[in-house]
Structure 1
Amino acid sequence: MAPSQSLSKSPLLAYVGLVLTPLFWAGNAVIARGTVQHIPPLSMSFWRWIIALAILLPIGLPGVIRHRQVIRQHLGSMIALATFSVAAFNSLLYCAAVTTTATNIALINATIPIFVALLAWLMLGDRTRPIQALGILLAVIGILTVIARGQLSVLTGLEAQPGDLIMVAAVFSWGLFSVLLRRQAVPLPALTFLTTQILLGTLIILPFYLTDLLAFSGGFEVSRQTVLPLMYFAIFPGILAYGFWNHGVQTIGPGSAAIFMYLTPVYASVLAGLFLNESLGVFHWVGGALILIGLLLATRVGRPGFRRRQAD
């Protein structure tokens, strides 16, 4: 085996990449929370993908051209997938950052496998074991604990932070993407799929971005304070996290790789404490523990669950 081949299959490199991937996802939530006052959410989402496209097109466009017939045949499915992943998920996440904390975003985001399992049961008829159902229930209770901030009156009085509810909608959107990805699989190489998804998703965001720009937010000032976060969003939680995730899945398998996803709220709580002065309340610990136990029960028992194909 050639040295380069041995290096590419090195478990060490896969583990390093999988440790960095949730760090990049956590950074996405923390930096979004810290800059959303300077960059409107829809501007943040739109320009993140424009920058990612500028980086990806030179290497991804040849594949798009080569597989254009496949893309044309599955265009409806590709548009649906791009809508729920690139367009809706990221836009909703950044909208959530306006009124909720980075820690809450990361905790709710960590429940993606729960929503995928639930939607797969509802839409695809996947069988759910009793212990998996218990895991889903515990995780949902954990989400409600975080949203309610440990106070039942918040739920009964409908006083939840809008951002928490928007983040639930974002996770639900990613769940739909994951289920549709299975039901409407598109036979494309990973790089071609990602490039096409970002291109379509950016076009879907465009009219919403223009409406917000012209009628509401007025855009943002181009400066070091705004350009650097956008570069981070495009490169780290976008392109690099996607590449690291797929390399890790190919090297150590999806089941082992999925465990690293649970590091995201851990990283986010540390980063949010350091850079945003966010503190952890008792409800974070209780809700986080319930979510973690629920995830372990729902995703590590029986048939392997869905895995993330694209970055946050």
Structure 2
Amino acid sequence: MSSENAGLLSRMPGLAYVGLVLTPLFWAGNAVVARGTVDDIPPLSMSFWRWVIALVILLPFGLPGVWRHRQIIRQRLGSMLALATFSVGAFNSLLYFAATSTTATNIALINATIPIFVALMSWILLGDRTRPLQALGIALAVLGILTVVAQGDIAVLTGLRAQPGDLIMVAAVFSWGLFSVLLRRQAVPLPALTFLTTQILLGALVILPFYLTDLVYFSGGFKLSGDTLLPLLYFAIFPGILAYGFWNHGVHAIGPSKAAIFMYLTPVFASVLAGIFLKESLGLFHVVGGLLILAGLVLATRAGRQAAAYRESG
């Protein structure tokens, strides 16, 4: 991003805040629309065509950068393929599989713990120091996840009767945590649009053999109609391209620490949208689990920011 554009963004904080409110709204809509259409569009079809449509939209803008930086892409192809596998490939595909057997509210609540899983993976794989407050936050968030998964009944966990979708969503968030750690360890020096275009292209190629196997041997695909095309366009444009752009804009304009707070709106929006469009109701376990997750996120992210500030000052 040029210094001129950066200066323009910094003078338009109001636009950044609007974008940061819309971003979790689009992410929440991703869970709600997936839950509402998963009976019509198989999960792997949903994931594959979402990214194909997004790629078609992005190519006119991103392809020149891909060509210009082709030498770097070729040199770092292994790293970029791993990153695309865990993010574009695994995360979204698992999220759509989760939608077949759990609620949009549960998906959004578990999805909100991404910062916790990133901190946990950073501690395990990168050896990042975990401060006591951060460890407490991680513990509270994990307890919140268990509350949601168990639906407030410990027998669900001890009897291994948890909804498969909740466990699949935990795997999805785990996958995004791995992606985030790899992104930090295997940083690729590419402009944002070039990186995104390359990631979507590689991710779609990763999904392709699984999609074709599912198409031929299992689901048989889906019938293209207005009822199926509109959700796919939503997935590609709103939680895909626009949310990514709004998020980058917001992080640049007001900083990553302030921008991260807006992630907490995702389960709030999801519960409202799911109640309106899917007639999902909130249980006490949603409230208790959500509060535990929120408290854990606040503690963990605050401790993480303090640790980062300490390292920078040292």
TM-score bin (small chain): over 0.9
> Residue in 2 aligned with 1:309?
none
Change (3 A) 1:6 1:182: closer
**Structure 1, unpaired ranges of 5+:** 307-312
Secondary structure of residue in 1 paired with 2:220:
coil
Q: Are the equivalent residues in 1 in contact too, given 2:6–2:252 (CA < 8 A)?
A: no
Letter of the 2:110 partner, please give it. Answer: I
Give the C-alpha shift of residue 303 in structure 1.
3.4
**Structure 2, unpaired ranges of 5+:** 309-314
So what's the TM-score if we normalise by structure 1?
Answer: 0.96
How is 1:10-29 mapped onto 2 (pairs within 5 angstroms)?
A: 10-29=12-31
Letter of the 1:25 partner, please give it. Answer: W
Please state if 1:256 is matched with 2:258: yes
Identity rate, percent: 80
Secondary structure of residue in 2 paired with 1:126:
coil
Q: Give CA deviations for 1:249-293 in whole Å, capped at 9, x if unaligned.
A: 000000000000000000000000000000000000000000000
So what's the TM-score if we normalise by structure 2?
Answer: 0.95
Give the C-alpha shift of residue 8 in structure 1.
6.8
Question: Which of 206, 218, 221 in structure 2 is aligned with 1:219?
Answer: 221
Please state if 1:47 is matched with 2:53: no
Q: Are the equivalent residues in 1 in contact too, given 2:90–2:175 (CA < 8 A)?
A: yes
> Residue in 2 aligned with 1:310?
none
Q: Are the equivalent residues in 1 in contact too, given 2:257–2:305 (CA < 8 A)?
A: no
Secondary structure of residue in 2 paired with 1:278:
coil
Q: Are the equivalent residues in 1 in contact too, given 2:94–2:168 (CA < 8 A)?
A: yes
Question: Which of 148, 164, 172 in structure 1 is aligned with 2:166?
Answer: 164
C-alpha distance in 2 between matches for 1:60 and 1:301: 37
Q: Are the equivalent residues in 1 in contact too, given 2:9–2:253 (CA < 8 A)?
A: no
> Residue in 1 aligned with 2:95?
93
Q: Are the equivalent residues in 2 in contact too, given 1:37–1:98 (CA < 8 A)?
A: yes
> Residue in 1 aligned with 2:267?
265
> Residue in 1 aligned with 2:299?
297
Give the C-alpha shift of residue 220 in structure 1.
0.3
> Residue in 1 aligned with 2:68?
66
Change (3 A) 1:81 1:304: farther
> Residue in 1 aligned with 2:240?
238
Give the C-alpha shift of residue 300 in structure 1.
1.4
Please state if 1:190 is matched with 2:192: yes
How is 1:31-180 mapped onto 2 (pairs within 5 angstroms)?
A: 31-180=33-182
The farther-off stretch of 293-302 and 153-162 is 293-302
Q: Give CA deviations for 1:6-39 in whole Å, capped at 9, x if unaligned.
A: 4674000000000000000000000000000000
Letter of the 2:209 partner, please give it. Answer: P
> Residue in 1 aligned with 2:312?
none
Tell me how large the CA RMSD over aligned residues is: 1.6
